[in-house]
């Protein structure tokens, strides 16, 4: 039995090396992908290197309240005299982390649900109706409800957004898995006696991955925007921990006098989302050549 | 037609059931004893017991679920604790605000998004395309509430063109109504326009590269008829599919935008409900939005078949 299974062409597990190389070259040469990657790498470095400013993000100096941007405080200071630049850098850690984890979790769980639904037809109706049900709530409202119930913490935000964004991923993977499972090499694997689980994980899943990868990049962007919205509504990451969303929420009360407090974290969110959307556009153009972008 | 609607209704039934159960489960997510959470930390044991009993929390899980579904079937969506009012009537009072906001936003989004998306597709790979798509990309990347606050500073505080907050009912004064909603609705539209333009562009690109467009051109039809009629009609199918998402993000986004502009709509009601730990209210609103969506998706499916005769359900 084992020998037979080995006789099945190994190709489906991953892209053949040559094709993978070509894809990489096209990705690297793609303008949107380049800009997106640079933006994202810069922001990630900024987040990692945050402690280098040598300032405690929550140290309050009332004497230094509401200092406009200057050489000493490039982004100014907030209502507690905290350095806004430092807070934005530390906020990057929280916001990017939330976005990354949500994209990863909702992608992985969504993929499993999608493949399960495609592979085991008896589960299909049940799983997909649950996904339809979840998708019937506006994503931000669903996330709001879940975070409100679980309590305003980073973990709650991650769980809430994962639940909100998981159904779209599951649908996507199910749709492509339904196509893949009818292909000849899957039939060959089945004839060779591969178990349904093995077919699912080794053959169907890897070949349904590329639309999911594009989707996950966009979910990363949406999650950063949604985290900010949740924090703004008061159910996200709680102060004094800085997240891009709650810096804006705090700065909102004195937005007319101290505009810099809310301006910079908003710019950071926009840049991060922009970078991820560009990255997603690039990935989509290269992985799905039918949809060519503006180049 | 009637057959189609019947089939779609039958398919929607299990989703409605799932939505009801999910909204019910939300309450069970509350850590610890929901009665204590709702009654507050300082409540006496009697008060907690009263809350527990009035919410039916002293019954077993499945029995509670059964009662919940039975009540829903009778059209009872529960009542708000903080307002002492049924969820339906509380929502009814605020729905006009939210519907005005979301409706106006969609009225801006649909023509603008479709138009600029089509222009980008028609002039693909030129500077027009790059410019339009950059604007669209920025639209989907900027946090709506943040740009809304900045817009308030510019247009309300500095220039004084629009009120910075508040709502005037349409029946009271249509002009002031529009004035109170223009800024919030346009801010809500930014993401949507970007989203729709990107979607329209790729749908149009797909269509414009097809054989029948080349045929239309080669038989001498004007560009306007070729692209505007043959092309657009076909791209419309994809745009209709996007309608469900657009309405969903408009209502979701209105939660945040209503907060920025202090508009007394459903979104603000939900946020107040969350702050006051009024979970039955939050649950009720989510449920009604969930039901509304099942209905909207149903309508989208039907429209879809009307726009594209190739789509047939058997």
* pLDDT per position as a tens digit, B12-56: 888 888 888 888 888 777 666 667 766 776 777 887 787 777 777
Kindly report the average pLDDT of chain B as a whole number: 84
User: In this complex, which of A136, A255, A281 lies closest to B19 when CB atoms are compared?
Assistant: A136
Confidence (pLDDT) at A51: 76
Give dist(CA A76, CA A68) in Å, integer. Answer: 4
pLDDT band for B186, please (50, 70, 90 cuts): very high
**Cβ within 8 Å of B, A 193-252:** 221, 225, 228-229, 232-235, 245, 248, 252
Under a CB-based contact definition with an 8 Å cutoff, are residues A106 and A166 in contact? yes
Four-point Cα dihedral B285, B289, B295, B301, nearest 10: -170
Using 70 as the pLDDT threshold, list the residues of chain A that sit under it: 1-20, 54, 60, 62, 64, 66, 72-73, 79, 81, 288-295
Residue A190 lies in a domain: no
Residue B248's closest CA among B304, B290, B281, B285? B290
* Helix H or strand E encompassing B80: strand B79-80
* Helix H or strand E encompassing A22: helix A17-28
Helix (H, G, I), strand (E, B) or coil at B168: coil
Residue A128 lies in a domain: yes
Averaged pLDDT for residues B260-277: 88
CA A27 to chain centre: 19
β-bridge partners, B162: none
Under a CB-based contact definition with an 8 Å cutoff, are residues A227 and A39 in contact? no
Q: How much is the pTM? A: 0.86
CATH entry 3.60.40.10 includes domain B88-307: no
pLDDT tens, B90-134? 888 899 999 999 999 999 999 999 889 988 988 888 898 889 899
Give dist(CA B156, CA B260) in Å, integer. Answer: 13
B231–chain A Cβ distance below 8 A for any pair:
no
Averaged pLDDT for residues B245-256: 90
Residue A96 lies in a domain: yes
Residue of A nearest to B138 (CA): A274
Residue A199 lies in a domain: no
Question: Looking at per-residue confidence, does B234 or A165 come out higher?
Answer: A165
Tokens of A242: 């800085």
- CATH number, domain at A250? 1.10.3720.10
List Cα–Cα distances, B141 to A97, A268, A278, B138, B191, in angstroms: 18, 11, 10, 5, 8
Confidence (pLDDT) at A157: 92
**Cβ within 8 Å of A, B 147-166:** 147, 149-150, 152-153, 157
Name the DSSP class of A67.
P
Q: Where in chain B is the domain with CATH 1.10.3720.10?
A: 88-307
How close B292 comes to chain A (CA, Å)? 8
Confidence (pLDDT) at A3: 41
Confidence (pLDDT) at A81: 67
User: In this complex, which of A235, A255, A263 lies closest to B274 when CB atoms are compared?
Assistant: A235
Residue A215: CB partners within 8 Å, gap ≥ 6? A107, A168, A169, A172
Give dist(CA A277, CA A219) in Å, integer. Answer: 9
Under a CB-based contact definition with an 8 Å cutoff, are residues B72 and B287 in contact? yes
Per CB-CB distance under 8 Å, the chain B contacts of A281 are 137
Q: Which residue has the tokens 């709502």?
A: B167
Residue of B nearest to A225 (CA): B143
Q: Which residue has the tokens 């935008």?
A: B257
Residue A5 lies in a domain: no
Which residue range is the domain that position A230 belongs to?
Answer: 15-177+206-287
Confidence (pLDDT) at A18: 67
Q: Is B277 left (phi over 0), alpha (psi -120 to 50) or beta?
A: left
Give dist(CA A250, CA A253) in Å, integer. Answer: 6
Residue A292 lies in a domain: no
Domain count of the fold of chain A: 1
B85–chain A Cβ distance below 8 A for any pair:
no
Residue A195 lies in a domain: no
> Where do runs of H (alpha helix) occur along chain B?
2-28, 34-39, 45-54, 61-73, 87-122, 127-141, 144-151, 174-208, 211-218, 223, 232-261, 266-275, 279-307
Tokens of B14: 């299990």
Tokens of A196: 């349904």
């Amino acid at each position: 039995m084992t020998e037979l299974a080995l006789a099945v062409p190994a190709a489906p597990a991953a892209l053949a090396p040559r094709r993978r190389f070509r894809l990489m070259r096209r990705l690297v040469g793609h303008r949107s992908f380049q800009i997106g990657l640079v933006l994202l790498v810069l922001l990630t470095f900024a987040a990692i290197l945050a402690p280098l400013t040598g300032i405690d993000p929550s140290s309050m100096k009332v004497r230094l309240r509401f200092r406009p941007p200057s050489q000493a405080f490039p982004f100014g200071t907030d209502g507690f005299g905290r350095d806004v630049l430092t807070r934005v850098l530390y906020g990057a850690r929280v916001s990017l982390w939330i976005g990354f984890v949500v994209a990863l979790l909702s992608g992985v769980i969504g993929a499993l649900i999608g493949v399960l639904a495609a592979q085991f037809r008896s589960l299909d109706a049940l799983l997909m109706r649950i996904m339809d049900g979840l998708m019937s709530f506006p994503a931000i409202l669903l996330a709001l409800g879940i975070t409100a119930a679980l309590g305003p913490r980073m973990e709650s935000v991650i769980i809430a957004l994962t639940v909100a964004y998981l159904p779209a991923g599951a649908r996507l993977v199910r749709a492509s898995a339904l196509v893949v499972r009818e292909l000849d090499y899957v039939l060959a694997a089945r004839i060779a006696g591969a178990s349904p689980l093995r077919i699912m994980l080794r053959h169907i899943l890897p070949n349904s991955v590329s639309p999911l990868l594009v989707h996950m990049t966009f979910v990363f962007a949406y999650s950063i925007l949604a985290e900010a919205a949740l924090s703004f509504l008061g159910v996200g990451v709680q102060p004094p921990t800085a997240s891009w969303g709650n810096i804006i929420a705090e700065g909102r009360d004195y937005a007319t006098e101290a505009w810099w407090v809310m301006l910079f974290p908003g710019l950071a969110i926009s840049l991060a989302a922009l970078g991820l959307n560009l990255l997603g556009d690039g990935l989509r153009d290269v992985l799905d050549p039918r949809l060519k972008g503006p180049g | 037609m009637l057959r189609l609607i019947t089939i779609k209704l039958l398919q929607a039934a299990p989703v409605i059931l799932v939505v009801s159960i999910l909204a019910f489960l939300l309450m069970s997510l509350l850590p610890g004893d929901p009665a204590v959470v709702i009654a507050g930390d300082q409540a006496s044991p009697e008060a907690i017991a009263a809350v527990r009993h009035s919410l039916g929390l002293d019954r077993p899980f499945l029995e509670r679920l059964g009662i919940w579904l039975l009540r829903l079937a009778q059209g009872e969506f529960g009542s708000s604790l903080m307002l002492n009012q049924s969820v339906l009537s509380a929502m009814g009072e605020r729905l006009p605000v939210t519907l005005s906001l979301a409706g106006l936003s969609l009225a801006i989004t649909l023509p603008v998004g479709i138009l600029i998306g089509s222009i980008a597709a028609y002039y693909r790979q030129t500077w027009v395309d790059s410019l339009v798509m950059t604007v669209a990309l920025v639209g989907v990347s900027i946090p709506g509430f943040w740009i809304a606050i900045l817009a308030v500073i510019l247009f309300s505080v500095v220039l004084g063109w629009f009120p910075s907050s508040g709502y005037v009912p349409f029946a009271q004064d249509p002009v002031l109504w529009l004035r109170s909603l223009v800024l919030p609705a346009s801010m809500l539209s930014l993401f949507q326009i970007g989203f729709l333009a990107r979607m329209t562009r790729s749908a149009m690109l797909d269509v414009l590269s097809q054989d029948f467009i080349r045929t239309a051109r080669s038989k001498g039809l004007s560009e306007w008829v070729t692209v505007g009629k043959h092309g657009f009609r076909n791209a419309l199918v994809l745009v209709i599919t996007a309608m469900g998402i657009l309405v969903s993000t408009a209502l979701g986004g209105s939660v945040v935008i209503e907060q920025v502009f202090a508009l007394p709509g459903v979104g603000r009601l939900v946020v107040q409900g969350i702050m006051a730990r009024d979970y039955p209210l939050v649950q009720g609103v989510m449920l009604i939005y969930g039901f509304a969506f099942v209905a909207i998706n149903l309508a989208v499916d039907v429209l879809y078949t009307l726009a594209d005769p190739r789509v047939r359900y058997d």
